[in-house]
């Protein structure tokens, strides 16, 4: 099996894992509901967002459309790059890293593009798959499902600290999903091993 075909298999497996978890959350939990996995420092906390990784977003309907289109163009570019490096026998680590980034971007695109069409909303109810009255939003206006929450540390900043003195903090505050994790891991691997991955270019 070629390196490119192996990367496709990896992408399919990663996407299946991401979507199975999101669909389970969407069809078994209401917005804001949470379960403890390991004490108070690892929670499954169901939220949805309109935008980018870790809850960031662009405001308004046009912002949502622009973000979705940007994601689609970006994932096309990443897919082409993955094919290019796979056929040129790039280091396996680089191929896996790009496959992770591609999977993460694609996983969140699926939410944005289709979840509004196939689910009703999760406000004060558990969402239904393919509801009779239709979904909660049109194509490309769906929300991304997030659920992983790691509030490892909580407290207040010292009073003497400029700007944030006395304010309450939680680390790590963002709630994210498995697709976000793929992107973070892929980018981190590239940053850590860039000399090894791009050795030919350096030479």
Computed over every residue of the chain, the mean pLDDT equals 90
Confidence at residue 57, expressed as pLDDT on a 0 to 100 scale? 58
Cis peptide before 172 (omega within 30 of 0): yes
Q: Are the C-beta atoms of 53 and 185 separated by less than 8 Å?
A: no
Question: Nearest 5°: phi and psi at 46?
Answer: -80, 115
Confidence at residue 62, expressed as pLDDT on a 0 to 100 scale? 66
Residues carrying an active site annotation = 146, 180
- pLDDT above 90 covers what percent of the chain? 67
63 pLDDT higher than 50: yes
The DSSP element (H or E) to which 200 belongs, if any, is helix 199-202
DSSP per residue, 69-120: HHHHHHHHHHHHHHHHHHHTT--HHHHHHHHHHHHHHHHHHHIIIIIHHHB-
56 pLDDT higher than 60: no
Report the sign of the C-alpha dihedral through residues 27, 112, 105, 153, in that order: negative
Confidence of residue 198 (pLDDT cuts 50, 70, 90): confident
This prediction has a pTM of: 0.88
Start-to-end Cα distance in the chain: 29
Confidence at residue 97, expressed as pLDDT on a 0 to 100 scale? 97
60 pLDDT higher than 60: no
Confidence at residue 202, expressed as pLDDT on a 0 to 100 scale? 47
């Amino acid at each position: 099996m070629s390196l490119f075909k192996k990367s496709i298999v990896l992408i399919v497996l990663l996407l299946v894992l991401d979507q199975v978890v999101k669909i389970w959350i969407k069809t078994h939990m209401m917005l804001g509901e949470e379960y403890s996995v390991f004490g108070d420092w690892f929670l499954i906390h169901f939220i949805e967002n309109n935008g980018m990784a870790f809850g960031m977003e662009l405001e308004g309907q046009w912002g949502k459309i622009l973000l979705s289109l940007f994601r689609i163009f970006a994932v096309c570019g990443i897919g082409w790059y993955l094919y290019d490096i796979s056929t040129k026998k790039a280091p396996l680590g680089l191929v896996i890293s790009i496959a992770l980034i591609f999977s993460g971007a694609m996983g969140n695109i699926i939410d944005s593009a289709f979840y509004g069409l196939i689910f009703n909303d999760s406000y004060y109810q558990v969402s239904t798959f393919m509801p009779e009255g239709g979904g909660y939003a049109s194509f490309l206006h769906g929300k991304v499902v997030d659920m992983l929450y790691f509030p490892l540390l909580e407290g207040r900043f010292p009073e003497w600290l400029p700007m944030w003195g006395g304010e309450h903090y939680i680390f790590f505050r963002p709630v994210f999903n498995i697709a976000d994790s793929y992107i973070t891991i892929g980018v981190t691997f590239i940053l850590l091993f860039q000399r090894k991955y791009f050795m030919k270019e350096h030479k």
